[in-house]
Amino acid sequence: MKRSVTDYPLAGKRVLVRVDFNVPLEGGRVTDDTRIKAALPTITYLLDQGCSVVLASHLGRPKGQVVDELRMAPVATRLAELLGRPVQTADDCVGPSVEAAASALAPGDVLLLENLRFHAEETADDAVFARQLAGLADVYVNDAFGTAHRAHASTEGVTHYLPSVAGLLMIRELEILGRLLRDPARPFVVVLGGLKVSDKIGLIKHMLSIADKIVIGGAMANAFLAAKGFEVGLSKGAGDEVAVAGEVLVAAATARCELVLPRDLVVATEAVPGAPSRVAAVADVHPDEMALDIGPESVADFAQHLRSAGTIYWNGPMGLFEIEEFSAGTKAVGEAIASGVAVTVAGGGDTVAAARRFELEGRLTHVSTGGGASMEFLAGSALPGVEALMDRGGSSPAGRRPVVAGNWKMYKTRAATAAYLREFVPLVKGVDDRDIVICPPFTDLETALAESAGSNVAIGAQTMAAADEGAFTGEVSPEMLLDLGVPCVVLGHSERRQYYNENDADLAKKVRVALDKGLRPILCCGEKLEEREAGHTESKVRGQVSAGLAQVGQAEAALVTVAYEPIWAIGTGKTATPEMAQETVAVVREALRDSFGDAANAVRILYGGSVKSGNIDALMAQPDIDGVLVGGASLDAQEFARIVRFREPV
C-alpha cells in the first residue's frame, strides 16, 4: 500500500496537491462539483495540519494553449464556497509570479494554480516543468485518481523531486478497487455494458481469472451475440468488435468464470425518442432493427445472478438509457445492483451518469472518480501516478520499504550484463514488496536498462560528478545519467573515498545535485578497522552522515538512502555481526534525527559488507536495517536473487 497523508509528517509544510478538478462548466459556473467535493477530505486534513496548500489540476483539453473558457477561476469560486475560506488563484501554474504567490502562503492558505494543460509540457511529462511544479512546495500529494493512469508531469514527473504520498481519495480508491482484485467477497459478479468490447478487453480478460461471473449488456453484448452467430441487424457495437468478442468467448470457455449474455433485447429501427420498439428474443432480431436495451427476460436473469453476489463491479449501461424508451434495462439492473447486500463498486462516466439519473449513487458502496484509471487498475495494469508514490509497506516497524541493491564495481562487460539480467529478472519476478537495484559500470548502463525494462529491477549508477558538463576527464555527469533514464546513484562508496579522494564536502555537493536533478542518492558511510579499534566508529559515521547530507532539507529526507558499510567488512569476507550492524545503523538513524527530526524516520538505511544469502535473514531481522548494499555476492544472478528473496517481511 502507498504511504498516505496520514502516515507522513506534514505539519506546517507547504504541500502541492494534484487534484482532479476536471469539472463541467457552463456560463462560467461549475455545473457538477462532485470531483471538487471528493477532494475536500484531503484538503481539509492538510489545513488541519497547519499546511499551506497549493492545488494543481487540469481542466478540459486545451492542448498546450491558453483557452480562456478553461481557466480555473470558476473552480476556485466553488471550492471557496465549499471550504468556507478564500481560495487564491494564480495566472499560471509555473513561473516567477506563481513561485512568489506560493512562497507567500501562510499556514491555512489555499492557492489554486491555473490549468496545468495550458502547458504542453504537462502531458509530455517534461522534467523541467515537473521540477518547476515541485519547486512550489515541500511535499507532493496525489489525490487525482482519475488521472493516475497517465504519466504526466503533475502525476509522475513531480515525484522525482519531492517526497510523494497519496491523498485520502486516492487511498480510498486504491483500497476499494484493490480489494476487488485481491479479496472480493464471493460470488464476485462483474456487470459490463457500454459501446465497445475493445475498450474493455483488458478488464474482461483479467476479470475472467478473478470474477465468478461477467454479465454483459449494452451495445457490447451485440458483438458477443454476433460472434455466437446471431443476427444483430443494425445494432451498434458489432462490426469490428465481433472478432474481439470471439477472442473473449474462446478465453472464457476454459475459465472458471461464467459469461452471462442477454436472452432478449428491446429493438427499434431508429435510436430516437418515441421510436416504435418491441421486445425480441436474441434469435429474432431483424436485419433492419437495432438493439437499444436489454429485454425483461434478460433483466430478470441478470437480477437473479446479482441477488446472490457478495461483490459487484458495474461499468457500463445496459442500453441507450438517455432515451426514456430504452432506459428500463439500465434502471432495473442498477436497482438490482444497489438493493442487495453485496459490496457494490461502480466506475466509468456513463455508469456514474446512469447511477445519478436513477438515484442509485448513495446506495452503492463506492462510485469511482476514475473511469479510465479504474478500468486500467482492474485490468491489472500499474498506474504510473500511483507507482511513483512512496510505499508504506516493508519489514521495518516504521514501515520503510526494503531495498536490496547490488554494486557490481568494475565487473562485467555488456554481453555479461545482458546474460546476467536475462537470468536474474525472471528469478525475482513478482517480488514487489521491496526495491531491487543493480548498479553496473557506466558502460553497461544502457544494456542493463534495456534488459530490465518493464521489470521490477531498477538500474543505478555507482557514482557521478557534481557538474553537468565540463573539463572533468573520465567523469560522468548527472545529466548523462538522466539522459539514459537512470533513477538513482550510489555516492561516497568507500572505494571512491579511498582511491579517488572523495570527501564529505564533495559528497554534500553531489547529494544536493542528485536531488536537484531528480536522482535518488544512496550515500555511503563507514569506518576503517583502525577507527573501529580506536572506538571512533560512532563519531566517524555521524560525521559522514551529517556532512554528506548537510545541504538536504527536512522535506527531502525521505528521498535519500544511507548505506552503512564498515570498510573492514567490504570484500573481505568479514561481516559485521547483525548486532554490530544494527548498533551502528542505529547511530546513523540518530544522526539523521539530529539533522531532520521526525522526517528521519522515512530515510532507509542499508547495511553493506560481505552480505550473502547465508546472512541476509539475520541482517534483515534487525529493527533499523531497511536493506542491503551487496558487492561480490551481487555478481552471481542466482545468489543475488536468493538475497533479494530474503525472508518475507512479517
Q: Is 407 among the residues that bind ligand PEP (CB under 6 A)?
A: yes
List 146, 492, 526, 631, residue binding ligand PEP (CB under 6 A): 631
CB 372 within 8 A of CB 366: no
Question: Rounded to whole angstroms, how far apart are CA atoms 449 and 112?
Answer: 38
Determine if 630 is a binding residue for ligand PEP (CB under 6 A): yes
Based on the shown chain and the rule CB under 6 A, indicate whether residue 644 belongs to the binding site for ligand PEP: no
Instruction: Judge whether 99 counts as a catalytic residue.
Output: no
Query: 558511510: which residue's cell?
Result: 525
Which member of 352, 615, 632, 643 binds ligand PEP (CB under 6 A)?
Answer: 632
Cα–Cα distance for residue pair 126/61, rounded to 1 Å: 18
* Interface of this chain with ligand PEP, residues 59 to 88, rule: CB under 6 A: none
Residue ranges in 308-343 assigned as alpha helix (H): 328-339
Residue with smaller CB distance to ligand PEP, 17 or 403:
403
Q: Which is nearer to ligand PEP, 356 or 409 (CB)?
A: 409
What CA–CA distance (Å, rounded) separates 106 from 637? 52
String of contacts with ligand PEP for each residue 583-622, x by CB under 6 A: -------------------------xxxx-----------
**In terms of CB distance, is 36 or 611 closer to ligand PEP?**
611
CB distance 438 to 634 below 8 Å: yes
Cβ-contact 431, 451 below 8 angstroms: no
Backbone angles phi, psi at 439, to 5 degrees: -115, 95
**Shortest distance, position 585 Cβ to ligand PEP, whole Å:** 14
Residue 592 burial (C-beta neighbours within 10 Å; 0-12, 13-18, 19+) = buried
Rounded Cα–Cα distance for residues 43 and 82 (Å): 11
Give the shortest CB-115-to-ligand PEP separation in angstroms: 47
Give me the least distance between CB of 409 and ligand PEP, in Å please: 6
Could you give the CA distance from residue 237 to residue 497 in angstroms, rounded to a whole number? 66
Residue 337, number of CB atoms within 10 A of its CB: 26
Which 3 state secondary structure label does DSSP give 278? strand
CB of 604 to ligand PEP, least distance (A): 15
Task: Categorise residue 609: left if φ over 0, alpha if ψ from -120 to 50, beta otherwise.
Answer: left
The answer to whether 114 touches 92, Cβ cutoff 8 Å, is yes
Residue nearest to ligand PEP (CB): 631
DSSP for 204-254, please give it. HHHHHTT-SEEEE-HHHHHHHHHHTT---TT-TT-TTHHHHHHHHHHHHHT
Distance (Å, whole) CA 520 – CA 401: 15
**Binding-residue pattern over the window 408 to 447 for ligand PEP, x denoting contact by CB under 6 A:** -x--------------------------------------
The residue among 489 and 630 lying less far from ligand PEP, judged by its C-beta, is 630
Q: Are 186 and 157 in contact (CB under 8 A)?
A: no
Residue 157 touching ligand PEP (CB under 6 A): no
C-alpha to C-alpha distance for 510 and 42, rounded to whole angstroms: 35
Which one is catalytic: 121, 241, 451, 565?
Answer: 565
Q: Specify the residue, 45 or 411, whose C-beta has the smaller distance to ligand PEP.
A: 411
Nearest CB to ligand PEP, comparing residues 273 and 571: 571
Stretch in the footprint of ligand PEP (CB under 6 A) among 35-43, 72-80, 153-161, 629-637? 629-637
User: Which of these segments, 212-220, 298-306, 310-318, 624-632, binds ligand PEP (CB under 6 A)?
Assistant: 624-632
What is the closest distance, in whole angstroms, from the C-beta atom of residue 565 to ligand PEP in the complex?
Answer: 5
Residue 288, C-alpha cell as written in the block: 433492419
Q: Does 19 bind ligand PEP (CB under 6 A)?
A: no
Whether the Cβ atoms of residue 330 and residue 337 lie closer than 8 Å to each other: no
Q: Which of 493, 495, 502, 556 is catalytic?
A: 493
Select 360 or 629, whichever has its Cβ closest to ligand PEP.
629
- Kind of pairing, strands 25-26 and 29-30? antiparallel
Q: Taking CB under 6 A as the rule, does residue 147 contact ligand PEP?
A: no
CB of 514 to ligand PEP, least distance (A): 18
Q: Report the residue from 629, 637, 643, 644 that binds ligand PEP according to the rule CB under 6 A.
A: 629
Q: Binding segment for ligand PEP among 8-16, 359-367, 387-395, 631-639 (CB under 6 A)?
A: 631-639
Cβ closest to ligand PEP, residue 571 vs residue 623 = 571
Q: What is the dihedral of CA 581, 587, 593, 596, to 10 degrees?
A: -70
Please identify which residue in 24, 239, 426, 571 interacts with ligand PEP, judged by CB under 6 A. Answer: 571
**What are 256's three cell numbers?**
472458471
Question: How far is 225 from 235, CA to CA, in rounded Å?
Answer: 11
Contact region for ligand PEP (CB under 6 A) — 280-288, 387-395, 419-427, 625-633? 625-633
Q: Which is nearer to ligand PEP, 236 or 540 (CB)?
A: 540
Name which of 46 and 633 has its Cβ closer to ligand PEP.
633
Which of 621, 588, 622, 626 lies closest to 604 in space, CA to CA? 626
Nearest approach, Cβ of residue 490 and ligand PEP (Å): 8
Q: Give the closest residue to 570 by CA, choosing from 471, 477, 482, 494.
A: 494
Which of these segments, 191-199, 217-225, 348-356, 628-636, binds ligand PEP (CB under 6 A)?
628-636
489 lies in the binding site for ligand PEP (CB under 6 A): no
Nearest CB to ligand PEP, comparing residues 164 and 463: 463
Q: How many residues bind ligand PEP (CB under 6 A)?
A: 15
By the rule CB under 6 A, 514 interacts with ligand PEP: no
521 is an interface residue for ligand PEP by CB under 6 A: no
Q: Give the shortest CB-544-to-ligand PEP separation in angstroms.
A: 15
Q: Does 204 bind ligand PEP (CB under 6 A)?
A: no
Q: Give the nearer residue to ligand PEP in terms of CB position, either 334 or 631.
A: 631
Among 39, 227, 570, 619, binds ligand PEP (CB under 6 A): 570
Is 406 among the residues that bind ligand PEP (CB under 6 A)? Answer: no
User: Does residue 16 bind ligand PEP (CB under 6 A)?
Assistant: no
* b/e per residue 251-280 (b: at least 16 CB within 10 A): bbeebebebbbbbbbbbbeebeeeeebeeb
Name 506's Cβ contacts closer than 8 Å, sequence gap at least 6: 466
In whole angstroms, what is the distance from residue 435 CA to residue 448 CA? Answer: 16
Contact in structure between 134 and 162 (CB atoms under 8 Å): yes
Q: Is 160 one of the catalytic residues?
A: no
Binding interface with ligand PEP (CB under 6 A): 407, 409, 493, 565, 570-571, 608-611, 629-633
Q: Which residues are catalytic?
A: 493, 565
